[in-house]
Every structure is written in C-alpha cells, then in structure tokens.
Amino acid sequence: RVLIELTRIPWFPVENDLVLWPFALGFLPAAYHGELPMNEVVKGILFYLLLSTLMHCAACVINDMLDCDFDRKLVQRTKDQPFASGVVTKKEASILLAVLIAA
C-alpha cells in the first residue's frame, strides 16, 4: 500500500495526461491516414497508456528520492509522504524504481 502511494497511482489521470495526450494527438491522425484497423488503434492507445503510467510512476519515485530531505524539512504538504516520513527506505524505493523502469 505504501509503495502504491509512492508511485501516485491513486492520482492516476492527473499528470499521466501530460505524456499520453501528445502521443494520442499524433497517433490518431497518423492511424487515420495510414488506414490502421480500429483494433490496432485501440491496442496502440492502451499500450501508450500503460507506458505513460509506468513513466509517471517512475518519475514520482525519482522525485521523492531526490527531494526527500527538502520534503521532510521544508514543505508542510509533503512531509508525511512515504519516503519523506521514512516509511519507505532508499533501498525499497530503488527496487521499486528498477521494477518500473524494467517494465
């Protein structure tokens, strides 16, 4: 549960859109002009939805790892996050990051 909070999955669509929409806005016209079958279009969008989610989760873990001292000491809103509060260790976060990047 704590690792899921570290990846910000509960906030799912919020920042994920920043990666997905540029792809979709380029992919859909290309698929139309290339006369790609609808099942290929759906598979492509779902694939990039998964990729953008994994990339967003990895970015959140990296951000928390790099900013943990700052978050813990200076930012009231983030001091209780899993990494800043010490609930998740650097080793656990590194393993999670490796799994996200490998996926």
Query: CA-to-CA distance for 22 and 100, rounded, in angstroms?
Result: 22
Q: Quickly count: other Cβ atoms within 10 Å of residue 56's Cβ.
A: 24
- CA distances to 20, 56, 69, 89, 90 from 14, rounded to whole Å, are 11, 10, 25, 26, 26
Q: By C-alpha distance, which of 72, 97, 94, 93 is closest to 84?
A: 72
Per the structure block, which two tokens stand in for 71? 């978050």
Taking only the tens of pLDDT, the chain with its 103 residues reads 667 777 777 666 667 777 788 888 898 999 999 999 999 999 998 898 888 888 888 888 888 888 776 666 666 666 667 766 777 788 888 888 899 899 8
